[in-house]
Amino acid sequence: MTDTATIEETDVNVDQSAKEAYFTAGQGQLIWSRFKKQRAAMVGAGVLILLVLSGLFAPFLTPYDPTIEGRNADYQNGAPNIPKFWDENGFSFRPFIYTYERTRSIETNFRWVTKVNRDKRRYVVLFPEGDKYTLAGITFRTHLFGVDEGKIHLFGTDATGKDIYSRTFHSINTSLAVGTIGVLIAFVLALIIGGVSGYYGGWTDSVLQMITDAVRTVPAIPLFMAIAAFIPDTVSSEGRFFIISIILGFIGWPTLARRVRTHLLTERNQEYVLAAQLCGASPGHIIGRHLLPSFTSYIIVDLIISFPYMVLSETALSFIGLGLKEPVNSLGVMLQNVTKADVLLNYQWNFIPVIFFIVLVLAFVFVGDGLRDAADPYADTKK
Amino acid sequence: MFHFLQFAATRAALAIITLIMVSFIVFSLMELVPGDCAERYLAFKNTQGSQISVADIEAERVRLGLDKPYVVRWGKWIVNAFRGEFGDSCILRLNISQLLGEKFYISLAICLTSLLIAYLIAIPVGIISATSKSPIVNNSLRLVSYLGLAMPNFLLALMIMLFSTIVFGDSLTGLFSKEFRDAAWSYERLMDFLSRAWLPVFILGWSATAFAIQTVRALMSDEVGKLYVLAASARGVTGRRLLWRYPARHSLGPIINSLGFDLNRIFNELPIVALILTLTEAGSLLIEALARSNDQQMAGAIIFLLTASIVGINFVTDIILALTDPRVRRSILG
């Protein structure tokens, strides 16, 4: 009898402390505890962190420079090299690939032909010295892996001999950077326009809403294709990168602005706003200090949800040749030449980066969805 | 009836105001292009061997009316645009309406068909997934719609091209076979068109369907739990009849309302899909005008027409909504 009583008592205690924790938890803790329960979102978050890290450390993780500097002139349109442990010549503890030799003779009709020399092995080595790169302001030469002689191309090479593996990782970096800048610009625009529109209401709101609606009616991609088409060719690739990010920011703002406005419209009649107004606070102060914090979590969720669309828009723009250009690496740039019949028939490894991007976008969608559910304060009561 | 006409008239006026604002955006963009039509035309003549002087360019400008103030030219452009006249293309020196004509209708037909198919699939599937308790159905539907969201149409188009090139040895591109490309419409040409048009329709419909399923699902799961549904089932209405007559009817309004934005989303993807599948319609003309020839007149006309069809759809859906939703109907019919 006493045993069960104590057990019950501790149960109650646990229950009590859990409840107490629940009621005293901050917004962030509540969201996190709800987010943790969703398996798909957690997996998505894991994959996302992995991809972001691999994008950030791309120069170290990849063996070669992704630009024309790091190209392998002897191995153009080369098939992926898959490291092996054994073949007919025996087993090796160190993974190896074969040597490719380019020959041209009367037998090959004087064309360059790549031949595999199965007798010459190239062993995979860790931390070799290779192309120079800068990470966090320091210049390094060490890469994660490479081969002792010649070069290794895990995903093959493109028409100019650039390593697709290296380019893929670097392009994750580019996509994330473009997305971040784009989202930030969209965010600032949405806050200003949505904030003003929602706080003042009345005819300011009507006019701003009409403009927002008109902008929303125009199909964004064709419109921004038009803007991107007017970037002069003389702009450097870095300049282009920033212009494209700004354009992407302009794509995203109307939806976000509408959300901000709706939230402000419902919040601005609350008593704490009136209190602040009576204390003589300026509208900017009230919007920034009192109103926006009341739905920060929604804004963050919206930003994360709009992120993959930025990335995909950039890819689409670059793909049709209006976005980023060489030597900047991005998925769209890499896919520019793959619609040729030659590539479709013979060099399918050019499509490998697509897989990474679908995973990246899916991870973002999962995390965004999970966060949206987690940030919804009524999620628990609904079910 | 009077109220209804009043409502329709207000909506029409709003639509026209939106179009005027859009035309301002488009026209300003066209003006931002470095170099104008006169320079471009004479530069072209220059390459043909004739000598061009500054006076020639000025004369051409006067001929095209480019010397007039900005607002006057905008006014002229918009008046003509509402009549369906967009002047001559800068590069090709041909009438844009003639160049576009059929191609624009083909694009519109392809987009509207994919939108229709998207909702034909999404409405039953969305209702099932909102009401079904089976985790297998729910999770697989979720996966499909996630794939639709994460796999943008142009990547899907690339993948289908890759797949069909490897398997069938044909990349399935283009809208017409060679022999029908410039032929007049006939039964054979229509059949040839249909045998090729299903692919762009499928690709454009792909993510539209995913979006539509999500919308229908969200709306339905909001409505299913409401009290009026419970009340109806307490009165003995069950099964499909319950779903169709109560929550489904209720969630129809927002769906009709969102059609315009769905079309917007499809138009977003159209040029890129058109480029990949080498379709000869308005989307690829737009890319050509922007990326290759810098033909601002043509690009402006296409963007304006695309937007105009979205505004048109929005207007029609507003009217349909007013007719089908008793609450809106009552408020405007008095």
User: In B, residues 216-275, which contact A (CB 8 Å cutoff)?
Assistant: 260-261, 264, 267-272, 275
Q: Does any domain span residue A115?
A: yes
Tens-place pLDDT, residues B234-292: 888 877 778 777 788 777 778 887 888 888 888 888 888 887 777 767 777 777 777 66
> Which of B48, B82, B116 corresponds to the end of one domain?
B82
Same domain, A259 and A281: yes
CA end-to-end span of chain B? 9
- Asked whether residue A294 is assigned to any structural domain, the reply reads yes
Find which of B146, B226, B302 to mutate to test the A interface (most A CBs within 10 Å of its CB).
B146
* B171 and B138 inside one domain: yes
pLDDT digits (tens, 9 = 90+) for B70-110: 788 888 888 887 877 777 777 667 777 777 777 888 888 88
Terminal-residue alpha carbon distance, chain A = 37
The answer to whether residues A102 and A202 belong to one domain is no
Residues A117 and A146 both lie in one domain: yes
A-contacting residues in B 290-329 (Cβ below 8 Å) = 290-291, 294, 299, 302-303, 306-307, 310-311, 314
**Does residue B334 carry a pLDDT above 60?**
no
Q: How far is it, in rounded angstroms, from Cα A60 to Cα A31?
A: 35
- Are B264 and A217 inside 8 Å of each other by CB? yes
Which of B82, B108, B143 delimits the end of a domain?
B82
| In a domain? residue B234 | yes
Do residue A126 and residue A170 come from a single domain? Answer: no
Q: Are A204 and A331 found together in one domain?
A: yes
B323 domain-assigned: no
Full residue range of the structural domain in which residue A359 is found: 166-380
Decide if B55 is inside a domain: yes
Which pLDDT value is given to residue A216? 79
Task: Tell if the CB–CB gap between A217 and B299 is shorter than 8 Å.
Answer: no
Give me the CATH number covering residue A211.
1.10.3720.10
B residues 63-82 lying closer than 8 A (beta carbon) to A = none
Both B114 and B256 in one domain: the answer is: yes
Residue in A341, A354, A362 closest to B155 by CB: A354
On whether the CB atoms of residues B320 and B4 are closer than 8 A, the answer is no
A192 and A94 housed in the same domain: no
Residue A359: pLDDT band with limits 50, 70, 90: confident
pLDDT at position B329, please? 67
Same domain for B280 and B247: yes
Does residue A16 belong to any structural domain of this protein?
no
| B264 min Cα distance to partner chain A (Å) | 5
* A188: pLDDT strictly greater than 50: yes
Query: B29 in a domain, yes or no?
Result: yes
**Do B141 and B28 lie in a common domain?**
no
Domain boundary among A106, A132, A155: A155
Do B179 and B122 lie in a common domain? yes
Last residue of a domain, one of A100, A124, A155: A155
Kindly identify which residue of chain B lies nearest to residue A314, measuring between CA atoms: B152
Q: B61-73, pLDDT tens digit by residue?
A: 777 777 777 788 8
- Assess whether pLDDT exceeds 60 at residue A380: no
Q: Rounded to an integer, what distance in angstroms lies between the CA atom of residue A207 and that of residue B83?
A: 27
For residue A313, what are the CA distances in angstroms to A224, A316, B272?
A: 10, 5, 11
A306/A346 same-domain check: yes
CATH number at residue B286: 1.10.3720.10
Does A139 share its domain with A264?
A: no
- More confident of the two residues A134 and A353: A353
Evaluate whether residue A91 is within a structural domain: yes
Distance CA A316, CA B265 (A): 14
Judged against a pLDDT cut of 70, whether residue A265 lies above it is answered with: yes
Same domain, residue pair A217 and A366: yes
Same-domain check for residues A263 and A149: no
Which range marks the domain in which residue B61 is found?
2-82
Q: Are strands A113-126 and A90-103 parallel, antiparallel or unpaired?
A: antiparallel
Its sign, for the CA torsion B21, A257, A283, A273, is positive
Q: Cβ contacts (< 8 Å) between A315 and chain B: which residues?
A: 152
Give the count of domains, chain A. 2
Q: Nearest-CA residue of chain B relative to A211?
A: B21
Work out how many CB contacts closer than 8 A connect A with B: 127
- Residue B159: list chain A partners with CB under 8 A: 351, 354
Using omega within 30 degrees of 0 as the cis cutoff, is the peptide bond preceding A327 cis?
yes
Q: Judge if A151 and A217 occupy the same domain.
A: no
Q: Are A335 and A258 in contact (CB under 8 A)?
A: no
Tell whether B157 and B74 lie within a shared domain: no
Number of structural domains found in chain B = 2
The answer to whether residues B76 and B130 belong to one domain is: no
| Higher local confidence (pLDDT), A94 or A280 | A280
Q: Is residue A145 part of a domain?
A: yes
B286 touches A at CB < 8 Å: yes
Asked if the structure places residue A252 within a domain, the reply is yes
Handedness of CA B99, B103, B107, B112 (dihedral sign): positive
Please state which of the ranges B157-166, B286-295, B304-313 shows the lowest mean pLDDT: B286-295
Among A131, A155, A179, residue at a domain's last position: A155
In a domain, B297, yes or no: no
Is any Cβ of chain A less than 8 angstroms from the Cβ of B26?
Answer: yes
Within this chain, do residues A147 and A284 fall inside the same structural domain, yes or no?
no
Where is the domain boundary, B51, B82, B113?
B82
In a domain, B56, yes or no: yes
Residue A214 and residue B18: Cβ atoms within 8 Å?
yes
